[in-house]
Structure formats: C-alpha cells, structure tokens
C-alpha cells in the first residue's frame, strides 16, 4: 500500500473516502493541492527525501512528483542537494518563521532579548541554521533607546556569521558537509573570512571547545559579533543569539568579557523556558 494521500478517489482507502465531503470542492486546484501535499512531508522528524520517497509518500506517479518538486524548487520552497536528496528551502522556512513571531521561540525570548539589547547597548539577533545560511528570526537594535524590528527571512552565509558558525559547529560531520554543500567561498566578504573548508573546520573546532562563536570582520568590514546557543529539550541547539557591534564600539576582548557573560545568562534563561514547553 502506498503511503500518504492517494492521487485519486478510486485509489483511496475506505477510511479516506468516507472522510472526504460527499460533494467535491469545485474550487479545488489539483496542482496546488499536490504541491501542498509535498510540502507537508517535511517536518522536524523527517530527514531529506529522495524524489522516489516523495512519490511513494504522496502516491503521485514519479513524473508528476518530479514536476511538482521542480516547481517548488524553482520558487525556493524546496532545495535539491548535489546527491539528489530534497529538503526544505529558505522560502518554506521563512513562511514557517511567521508563526514563530507569535507562538514560538521569538515570542518566548522577546523580553529577554530586549533586556539584553538595553543592557549592552548593542544590536541583538536571534537566528537558526537553514542549510548553508543563517536565517534571522528577530533583531533588536539599540540606538539610545530600545527599538524592536523583527525581520523574518533575512539570510546570511553561515560560514561568515557568529550565529551560523556556532550552529554549524554543533552538527555531526556528515550533516555539516551536507549543510555546506551549497556554500561558495566568496571574496566579497570581510578581510578575516575563511576561504577554505579546512580553515572553517579549524574555527568550528575552537567554537565547540569554547561554547561560543566570534565573528570578527568576517562578514564585512567594521562588524563584530559573539553568539551562544539556545537549547531545547535535546542536547543540540535549536537556535542561537548574538550581540553585534561595530569594531569602533567593541573589541574582541570586551565582547568576550561582560558582553559574553550577559549573553550567556540570557541564553540560559531562554533555554530554560524552551525546555519547560
């Protein structure tokens, strides 16, 4: 028996057929329904899938599944890795992040991050890792007074950001290689950016030992930041927060001193709240 929703009423299980309304929805767009069926396959417990996995789990013929996946890939909702496996793309994650603004980690951490921005006088960010990108879920800027500006969907190369490097460091080696398979080392970044995978791995090893990540003019000239992990019920980080500042405002030493202490206290508070959910 094929898993997932069947492609037609004739192939449906008896339970599925009874659950459907007696009068078909005349406004139904079949192609859109198939696309949504594919997107619903991906959740926190689902590993990257092959095209055949998609076809089997949705009940679509393989050519149909190919066309649906290709369309979703073109629009950024899915991403196909060099080895052919398929995973959620940035557009899909960004849509999911909208819910986080109201009921997830962004809402839960808002008060703590506001206090951190106020106490440090610097910009505070909350982000997650999506493939080779750091996706920023919230940003709290301080310019004399606290000003909140939640930016959902902003992405930066993980290899050049403190949040991205921190979360990459905690991945298993094979998972990290898959995540970085789409990364291209660029010359259009900061003067201290890594230029090779080996150099990045050396920095990630230090991060795993220290438990925090520094970005020192790696993303761009004049920018520094320091990041620490947010943990849920599992031992792996579910997100990271950082304090970002200009190089004229913060030295690496000050970031690693009082700023890091405040950042770690905030992360511990948010992690405690997350594990209580």
> What is the phi/psi pair of residue 43, to 5°?
-145, -170
Q: What is the pLDDT of residue 6?
A: 33
pLDDT for position 15: 35
**Domain range list for the chain:** 9-88, 91-275
pLDDT at 147: 42
Backbone angles phi, psi at 52, to 5 degrees: -65, -40
DSSP H stretches of helix in the chain: 14-19, 30-39, 51-58, 62-74, 90-103, 105-120, 162-169, 173-179, 197-210, 252-254, 260-275
Give residue for tokens 């919230």: 138
**pLDDT of 161:** 95
**Per-residue tokens: 255:** 């970031």
Architecture of domain 9-88: Orthogonal Bundle (1.10)
Compute the distance between CA of residue 92 and CA of residue 162 in angstroms, rounded to an integer.
23
Q: What is the pLDDT of residue 88?
A: 82
Q: What local confidence, expressed as pLDDT, does residue 144 receive?
A: 42
Give me the half-sphere count of Cα atoms (radius 13 Å) on the Cβ side of residue 56. 6
Distance CA 150, CA 138 (A): 4
For tokens 């660029």, what's the residue?
186
- CATH 3.30.450.40, domain 91-275, yes or no: yes
What is the pLDDT at residue 94? 63
Sign of CA dihedral 174, 272, 208, 242: positive
pLDDT at 76: 83
Q: What are the average pLDDT values for consecutive 10-residue runs of the chain, which has 277 residues?
A: 34 36 66 86 75 93 93 87 83 62 74 94 91 87 49 79 97 92 87 96 97 96 95 87 93 95 97 84
Q: What is the pLDDT of residue 155?
A: 82
Q: Is the pTM of this model over 0.85?
A: no
Look at residue 7 in the predicted model and tell me its pLDDT. Answer: 35
Q: Which residues contact 116 (CB under 8 A, 6 or more apart)?
A: 124, 140, 241, 243, 262, 263, 266
């Amino acid at each position: 028996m094929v898993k997932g929703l069947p492609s037609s009423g004739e192939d449906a299980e008896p339970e599925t057929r009874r659950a459907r309304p007696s009068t078909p929805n005349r406004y139904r767009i079949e192609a859109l329904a198939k696309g949504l069926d594919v997107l619903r396959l991906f959740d926190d417990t689902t590993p990257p899938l092959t095209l055949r996995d998609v076809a089997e789990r949705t009940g679509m013929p393989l050519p149909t599944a190919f066309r649906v996946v290709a369309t979703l890939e073109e629009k950024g909702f899915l991403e196909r890795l060099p080895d052919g496996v398929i995973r959620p793309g940035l557009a899909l994650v960004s849509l999911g992040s909208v819910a986080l603004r109201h009921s997830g980690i962004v809402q839960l951490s808002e008060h703590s991050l506001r206090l951190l921005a106020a106490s440090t006088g610097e910009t505070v960010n909350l982000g997650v890792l999506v493939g080779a990108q750091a996706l920023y879920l919230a940003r709290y800027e301080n310019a004399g007074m606290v000003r909140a500006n939640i930016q959902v969907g902003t992405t930066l190369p993980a290899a050049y950001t403190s949040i991205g490097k921190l979360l990459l460091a905690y991945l298993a080696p094979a998972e990290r290689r898959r995540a970085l398979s789409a990364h291209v080392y660029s010359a259009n970044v900061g003067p201290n950016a890594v230029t090779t995978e080996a150099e990045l791995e050396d920095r990630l090893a230090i991060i795993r030992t220290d438990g925090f990540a520094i970005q020192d003019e790696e993303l761009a000239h004049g920018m520094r930041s320091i990041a620490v992990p947010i943990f849920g019920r599992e031992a792996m980080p579910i997100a990271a927060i950082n304090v970002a500042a200009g190089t004229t405002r913060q030295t690496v030493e000050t970031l690693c001193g009082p700023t890091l202490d405040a950042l770690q206290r905030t992360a511990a508070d948010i992690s405690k709240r997350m594990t209580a959910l």
